[in-house]
Structure 1
Amino acid sequence: MKAGSTPPFAPAGNVLIVGGGLVGASLAIALDAAGCRVTLVEAAAPRTDAQPSYDERNLALARATVNGLDAIGVWPLAAAQATPIRHIHVSRAGEFGSARLDAAKHGVDALGWTLPARELGAALLRRLDTCKQLIRLAPASLIGLTKFEDGWRAEVKTPKGTQHVDAALLVGADGTESFVRAQLGIEADVHDYQQTLFVCTVTPERDPANRAWERFADEGPIAMLPLAERRCGLVLTVDADTADDVVALNDADFIALAQRRFGWRLGRLGRPGKRHPYAIRRVAARSLIAPRAVLVGNAAQTVHPIGAQGFNLGLRDALTLSELITAADDPGEQDLLERYAARRAPDREGTMAMSHDLVRFACMPQPWLAPFRSLALLAYDRVPPLQQALARRGMGFRGTPPRAVLERVP
């Protein structure tokens, strides 16, 4: 990062978003809808098959997330491919406790929805195409930053050569290995869980009937998410030192492993799709803001996938930031950025702590923990205030949510 004197440009009002993944694209759409001048730098060409964040994962979208996507005009483009989650079952292998959530019991038609990441990516790309004044640079990469008193000058490499983009606010939405975060000099705390996540689709013998399962074990959690056509999205966690062996398994042996870990609640599992491994790390930026700069999504925090909180948390980052920017004259003013960090702190810290502590407590192999885990699950299942708190947080209503997520899905 270089420093300079006041440049010969007027960046007031301009926002530069680096990273065109799920969170960055959502922020760009929200700001464009509010009439803000935005430039979006995307690493890949604007095609679903080229965008690395639009991969084979099946996303569990919290109710608040769907409300937010609906508010920015994305959900109508994706809803037909989504599957409602009306029941959630949480348990621990070999232990007697379990917690169950039912949408009807909490007065909603669904606790959340399952949607393939590629389908959400396609919906975001279609919505980006309708933006009125958004400037999209893709494929493009940020290669340098110069800080001035009233903004930033970014050096962006494109197929047509290097361009300079001036902005009053720089937004890093460029993922876990954020180049923007590094250039801002913001350090991050990293915790390697020594686990690898495998995702794929499977077809169970029994209809999942809009049920989602989260099951814990010594080796890590396993989740089953309902999809269209009676399929399920399988999320299987294994110890990192066994990941290569799991990669090498044929389909029959992989299904046998998943069956052993998940059990027989859905009958026999079959027809596994292509498997994708992901190393699991927790990465938390020590600050969300710098002078005229802010981090959102995985650039700000990458959490353990337990509970499927990653994109849900990142979208709340984006919509909170958009809400504050659209009410301000200067999107990069220090007071705005400090208010953003303060508003996000309870949700961010609570969600990170929940995912980190849950995987440690629920997956520790110590036998003496078993009765405490079972009693905790039974309490969440049987004690109404605890269950209500669990359901509300699971639906994404934590801290001070952005207004966009409070509207009900039609």
Structure 2
Amino acid sequence: MQCNTGGASAYHRRMNVSESPASGGSGVLIVGGGLVGASLAIALDAAGVAATLVETAAPRADAQPSYDERNLALARATVNGLDAIGVWRHAAARATPIRHIRVSRAGEFGSARIDADKQGVDALGWTLPARELGAALLRRLDECTRLTRLAPATLSALEPLADGWRARIDTADGPRGIDTPLLVGADGTHSFVRDRLGIEAGHHDYRQSLFVCTVTPERAHANRAFERFSDDGPIALLPLAERRCGLVLTVSADEADAVAALDDIGFLDLAQRRFGWRLGRLTRPGKRHPYAIHRVAATQLVAPHAVLVGNAAQTVHPIGAQGFNLGLRDALTLAELVTAATDPGDPALLAAYAARRAPDREGTMAMSHGLVRLACLEQPLLAPLRSLALLACDRLPPLQRALARRGMGFRGEPPRAVLERLP
């Protein structure tokens, strides 16, 4: 799916709103320029499909809210997909391979270990700051030749047509009307597109907040990623460059303000108690960023001539780091189907998309929700069962292979792009 980028700067149009005509057709219309929306736009361009990308933020890494300070754990399938659409070459130098994963629960025996060499791969996944992935996406967007980008701009209204939608896009120079055969909502958890399509969504407040930052452990991480569960919620440590680690600490919503008010010493003390001493003392915390944790699941993925992808379709608990990985599989599956079709808004195509994504989507959401409910609940009667389950995952090769394959993003019927092996 690589597209020819030779001479791209001569042909590419980054459509600032002041350059936009008053109205016209756009091919596929993608609303939302975050990690998933940008990836979909690139995949379509690489396949030769015309599209328009509407971004509320200016086309800069420091302006896009999703290009933030989180450290993303990218599954192997995700990196395969990013490589297939020409993004990974812009990000690989700043990524750190995950070669070992350790999963445990505080105060209980047993742990599960997954090692890349036992699975026959050089890495189970890679870690990369979201801001770095955002910068790589922007560089790749600059190479696109069939993509029109409107930024900053917002979708303000939708009108159904017989063969698609008419979208009103508000810009600094006034409204712009765009007709599209396929409207894609990639506009996040609080999706305007989902709301205007009349698609309902189930909401669950976990009453938890996530704190992310970087730390430096006393001992080298050796490309190991750790996830540890407790009654207080999960904590994860992800390997980064220069001996740094990405810390992901979950606390109850009632404790969030108090944790946010801690100084560096107090925060490190909390993290150390929750994580333990596997890597020695944790030092040098970076700036902390809190995020409230909610689960949002659209009741359907498609409507006439419209589809939801990424967080607009489902926002999952960050446990297991599945959010962007799942969203990219949404985007690449949709791009694969659209590329093979004559009408991107064909009802049969949209039905096929929903059917293709259902096993992966439902399985991933069930896994993340189930882990929170089972691994973090203070239920003494569950302790032996949880420990035995971890031991089984660690000692039984077929179970470990199945767990590793799902963790690497190969679930259901994945898009062809993620099956490509990295060189």
Q: TM-score range by the shorter chain?
A: over 0.9
How far apart are the structure 2 equivalents of 1:195 and 1:347? 25
Q: Which residue is equivalent to 2:329?
A: 316
How far apart are the structure 2 equivalents of 1:407 and 1:35? 20
Equivalences for 1:53-68 in 2 at 5 Å? Answer: 53-68=66-81
How far apart are the structure 2 equivalents of 1:245 and 1:165? 48
Please say if residues 24 and 177 of structure 2, whose CA atoms lie closer than 8 Å, have aligned partners that are also in contact: no
- TM superposition shift of 1:335: 0.3
Q: Which residue is equivalent to 2:18?
A: none
Please say if residues 74 and 126 of structure 2, whose CA atoms lie closer than 8 Å, have aligned partners that are also in contact: yes
Per-residue deviation, residues 177-196 of structure 1 (Å, max 9, x unmatched) = 00000000000000111000
Per-residue deviation, residues 96-136 of structure 1 (Å, max 9, x unmatched) = 11000000000000000000000000000000000002000
- So what's the TM-score if we normalise by structure 2? 0.94
Please say if residues 97 and 123 of structure 2, whose CA atoms lie closer than 8 Å, have aligned partners that are also in contact: yes
Q: Which residue is equivalent to 1:187?
A: 200
Equivalences for 1:247-262 in 2 at 5 Å? Answer: 247-262=260-275
Equivalences for 1:178-327 in 2 at 5 Å? Answer: 178-327=191-340
Please say if residues 392 and 399 of structure 2, whose CA atoms lie closer than 8 Å, have aligned partners that are also in contact: yes
- Give the 4+ runs in structure 1 shifted more than 3 A: none
Percentage of identical aligned residues: 79
Q: Which residue is equivalent to 2:141?
A: 128
Matched, 1:157 2:170: yes
Q: Which amino acid aligns with 2:92?
A: A
| Structure 2 residue ranges without an equivalent (≥5) | 1-22
Per-residue deviation, residues 313-364 of structure 1 (Å, max 9, x unmatched) = 0000000000000000000010000000000000000000000001110001
Equivalences for 1:16-165 in 2 at 5 Å? Answer: 16-165=29-178
How far apart are the structure 2 equivalents of 1:343 and 1:63? 20
How far apart are the structure 1 equivalents of 2:181 and 2:301? 17
How far apart are the structure 2 equivalents of 1:146 and 1:257? 52
SS of equivalent to 1:318: helix
SS of equivalent to 1:39: strand
SS of equivalent to 1:230: coil
Per-residue deviation, residues 204-231 of structure 1 (Å, max 9, x unmatched) = 1111010000000001000000000000
Q: Which amino acid aligns with 1:53?
A: S
Per-residue deviation, residues 238-293 of structure 1 (Å, max 9, x unmatched) = 00000000000000000000000000001000100010110101100000000000
- So what's the TM-score if we normalise by structure 1? 0.97
| Structure 1 residue ranges without an equivalent (≥5) | 1-8
Q: Which amino acid aligns with 2:135?
A: A
Per-residue deviation, residues 19-51 of structure 1 (Å, max 9, x unmatched) = 000000000000011111100000100000000
- Aligned-residue CA RMSD in angstroms? 0.9
Matched, 1:349 2:362: yes
